[in-house]
Structure 1
Amino acid sequence: MKVSADNIRYNLNHLFQLVFEVTDMCNLRCKYCGYADLYEGYDERENLKFPFQRAKLIIDYLYSLWSKNQCENIVQPILVGFYGGEPLLNVPFIQEVIAYIESLKPVGKVFRYNMTTNAMLLDRYMDFLVEKKFNLLISLDGNKEGQGYRVDVAGHDSFDRVYSNVCLLRERYPEYFKEYVMFNSVLHNKNSVESIYSFIKGTFRKEPIISPLNGSGIRKDKLENFFQTYRNYSESIQEASNCEAFKNELFIRNPETRQLLDYIYQRSENVFISYNELLFPINQSSEITSGTCTPFSKKMFVTVKGKILQCERINHEFALGQVTDSGVELDLEKAAQQHNDYVSRYARQCKSCGHRKACVQCVYQIDDIHEATSLCRSYCSDGQIKQADARSLVYLDQHPELYRRILKEVSVRG
């Protein structure tokens, strides 16, 4: 479905998350980092810090939109995120941004803050993070062996320092730790899903977010290194010491259960994203949809160099605008056209794809997107989808208790 400038303006008015790349500096040199040698498509790292005045220009731009479109008695939450590099290397910027936001007159928004951190400097700044009730996502790949790729500038292991800082946070602020702290872990050949889950759940009583290495944007000369480091998520679960018990504990983090959840979600026709969709159902049978987010429907990401993107996960070449010392340059008509041009390249494939009603593929994650013969890597025929559905039903027949658990325990949040 084509988007228009008005669609993007609506998204900006109802923005869920504004994320600043606080700095491109980092005090670790993780071997698999998305900004390291394995990958391409990002701006060169130059040890920069985001200038506060440019952040102020972005906030003022959005604030002006929100002021003009404020609805009386309606308050919408918005997350202000701080990303890196390592964001705790530029805490003065974060403090200035928050102080400025909190100095503004209310415009129907309630601001909350989040951050992804490697926790190397957590002991210095935890008081501030707790005071502002940051939702904190800590990067930790499990035990000391699993943390082996997260090394400092000198090549030293980071585990002892990170572990000590996380334990200190839990000791000083147990209620905050319980409510606001989560863990993110990267799966690779030095750990496993079981070792990560067992360590973090057993030590901190938290269920980590576990992700395999990103398979998009790999440098061609680094493919061998990538595959040496990569570990498949599903295969790692199968290697668990007690596979069935571990799958039961993982629940929807187990890919087979997740596939069953998706089957129920897609086929029940009783799931609604919003009240509007429930009350005013839209016939989308003729629409060709993509898993690519429309610009700013989920977030706005601003790089340390001022590029404005819809997400931190896509190459910087796909920027929709920029903020400079002179102001915000964001042409909504041009942004809509750029989005439509890239998505439309796959329209013919979308029409015959079995995933067309529930696509999750972002076109910006297709490595050869600029090639005339580019193919969507998530394309499935209707026959393949039917086979996947059949596998889900077989799995449900083998594990009938999952139907009740999915209905009772899974919350779908926007």
Structure 2
Amino acid sequence: MKAKPFIKLYRSPRGFYFYDVNKDTIVGVDESIYSYLSEESTYDELPEEDKDYIEQLKEKGYLSDHHVSVIKHEQTDKVEEILSDHCEQLILQVTQSCNLVCSYCPYANKTDNTLQRNHENKHMTWEVAKQAIDFFAEHSKSFQSPTISFYGGEPLIVFDMLKKCVKYCEELFLGKDISFFMTTNATLMTDEIIDFLAEHRFHLLFSIDGPASIHDINRKRSDGTGSFASAFSAFKRTYERYGEDAVEYVRINMVISPENDIDESFSLFDDEFFRNNNVVVSSSLADDEYLANKLTYSAEFEAKYNYYYFLSFLNEMKLVEGIKLPPFFKYKMMVFKREYLQFKRGINSLPDVTTPGGPCVSGHSKFFVNVKGDIFPCERVSEISECMKIGNIYEGFDYDMIRKHLNVSQQTAEKCKNCYAMLHCSMCQGNSDDNGKFTTEKRLSYCKSSRNLFDSKIKNCILLKETKTKYTWRP
């Protein structure tokens, strides 16, 4: 090969493949071509039919050595225009207080404001809430389906404030298809609250981590007692109150901690309620980014978790009957299939100017306002970090900082240009945040995990393909 193609090789027990960065797709090849691409053999050693196939690939734009020339986000010069009137979601931190002390919560596990803020008895005033809503209304004029999300702490601690915000929003956004969202631990829900939420068609995400034996380990009250009984009761009452609309509006998110037995966590779905209702459930692994004591994932936990993925594939391909799976694994299979189609479709070519996947246009799809009125890209970043702050509701967006967010990968430009996973990089601007400053070292520390995640996506796509057909994947 005269120039080394910008590709990444993969193999499975059944086949040989390469991911082509310039086409953003996966190509199946014979073992002889794989050996040539891995530089274990020469072009002259290839059979004539394989030489012909390689030339056909090159004619279609595959096996190119083209790399990105300049790292720059395509929306860099349009930030003011995008944020002027097309913002989509406002997340209001109506309180920093919570009535639970969850084992994996960065706010409950006090770090003395070195990693993240602590739970504090601070609530958003009506003046701040109104100003934030007005600011959002001004910056979402061209968007017809604005969303207001209520976040904490536990938002229901300040239910009266929440009601006042809803009333004001429904008047201010009259004529638009406004939606309300809330994440809740559900322990403070009364029938009055449930009726209000149902009347205003709130989209609700309930935090329930498993049966009582698991949930009550993770999600305790300040006095050490568990919260499962009240949370699950409130969830069921809410689901019944919403009636036929419940499947669309009322959902559960299960945070899976590696310190708990995964089989026991999933036994929640043995409850009769889940057998009789089509409840939408999402899941996430506990995040220790802002925890002083990091979580450890045992070999047993990883083996069990991966086994559920394996069962999901068997279930999807209908290879084994009667497989019981947690509800959210069906969603994970939908994601796998969507990624499969994305890689199969590919792109025409890798642009000369682009940036790795990851950073969003801070403030566009959503922005987060804390109790003081400071603006952040979302609710998942550190609220004590200066480089994560993108303005405030009084002075507006800090467009220079937002442009820095968009182009944070310029710090690692040369490495990014040569990374085979660049188009699907999972690192956001928060992954470059090192105690309030963007640093190269911090960003690079996440590169390996980002590449591993990309490799997993490719391998899942290959597995899906191989379970569908015995033929190789060729363009």
Quickly name the TM-score band, shorter chain normalised. Answer: 0.7 to 0.9
1:175-190 map, 5 Å: 175-188=244-257, 189-190=259-260
* Structure 2 length-normalised TM: 0.69
1:59 deviation in Å? 2.2
Paired residue for 1:131, among 167, 187, 199? 199
In structure 2, the partner of 1:141 is 209
In structure 2, the partner of 1:214 is 287
**Residues 49-104 of structure 1 deviation map (CA, whole Å, 9 limit, x = unaligned):** 1111112112222333445xx5xxxx620110001100011111111111112222
In structure 2, the partner of 1:353 is 419
In structure 2, the partner of 1:95 is 163
1:300 deviation in Å? 1.0
Q: Which amino acid aligns with 1:7?
A: V
- Aligned partner of residue 163 in structure 2, secondary structure: helix
1:129 deviation in Å? 0.3
1:127 deviation in Å? 0.9
- Aligned partner of residue 197 in structure 2, secondary structure: helix
1:302 deviation in Å? 0.5
Determine if contact 1:8/1:296 at 8 Å carries over to the other structure: no
d(CA) in 1 for partners of 2:461, 2:364: 31
In structure 2, the partner of 1:47 is 121
Q: Which amino acid aligns with 2:422?
A: R
- Aligned partner of residue 206 in structure 2, secondary structure: strand
Matched, 1:338 2:404: yes
In structure 1, the partner of 2:345 is 268
**Residues 101-150 of structure 1 deviation map (CA, whole Å, 9 limit, x = unaligned):** 222264x7321101000111122410110110000001101211121211
Matched, 1:30 2:102: yes
User: Where has structure 1 moved over 6 Å in runs of 4 or more?
Assistant: 228-231, 239-243, 380-388
In structure 2, the partner of 1:274 is none
In structure 1, the partner of 2:231 is 162
- Aligned partner of residue 151 in structure 1, secondary structure: strand
1:203 deviation in Å? 6.3
Structure 1 residues 109 and 398 mapped into 2: Cα distance closer, same or farther (>3 Å)? Answer: same
Paired residue for 2:149, among 59, 81, 97? 81
- Aligned partner of residue 368 in structure 2, secondary structure: strand
Q: Which amino acid aligns with 2:107?
A: Y
Paired residue for 1:150, among 216, 219, 240? 219
In structure 2, the partner of 1:273 is none
Paired residue for 1:397, among 444, 463, 466? 466
Matched, 1:321 2:391: yes
Gaps of 5+ in 2: 1-71, 315-322, 471-475
In structure 2, the partner of 1:278 is none
Structure 1 residues 104 and 143 mapped into 2: Cα distance closer, same or farther (>3 Å)? Answer: same
* Structure 1 length-normalised TM: 0.78
Q: Which amino acid aligns with 2:392?
A: Q
Q: Which amino acid aligns with 1:113?
A: F
- Aligned partner of residue 102 in structure 2, secondary structure: coil
Gaps of 5+ in 1: 271-280, 402-414
In structure 2, the partner of 1:312 is 379
d(CA) in 1 for partners of 2:451, 2:380: 29
Deviates more, 1:167-176 or 1:236-245: 236-245
Paired residue for 2:132, among 58, 61, 66? 58
**Residues 353-388 of structure 1 deviation map (CA, whole Å, 9 limit, x = unaligned):** 222222222131356574443305245899996896
1:287 deviation in Å? 1.5
- Aligned partner of residue 166 in structure 1, secondary structure: helix
Structure 1 residues 348 and 129 mapped into 2: Cα distance closer, same or farther (>3 Å)? Answer: same
Deviates more, 1:78-87 or 1:287-296: 287-296
Q: Which has the larger radius of gyration?
A: 2
Paired residue for 1:20, among 87, 92, 95? 92
Structure 1 residues 232 and 78 mapped into 2: Cα distance closer, same or farther (>3 Å)? Answer: farther
d(CA) in 2 for partners of 1:233, 1:177: 33
Deviates more, 1:126-135 or 1:228-237: 228-237
Q: Which amino acid aligns with 2:367?
A: M
Q: Which amino acid aligns with 2:165?
A: V
Structure 1 residues 66 and 228 mapped into 2: Cα distance closer, same or farther (>3 Å)? Answer: closer
Percent identity among equivalent residues?
24
Determine if contact 1:213/1:230 at 8 Å carries over to the other structure: no
- Aligned partner of residue 135 in structure 1, secondary structure: strand
Determine if contact 2:362/2:377 at 8 Å carries over to the other structure: yes
Q: Which amino acid aligns with 1:320?
A: I
- Aligned partner of residue 145 in structure 1, secondary structure: helix
In structure 1, the partner of 2:307 is 238
Paired residue for 2:332, among 246, 253, 260? 253
d(CA) in 2 for partners of 1:303, 1:46: 12
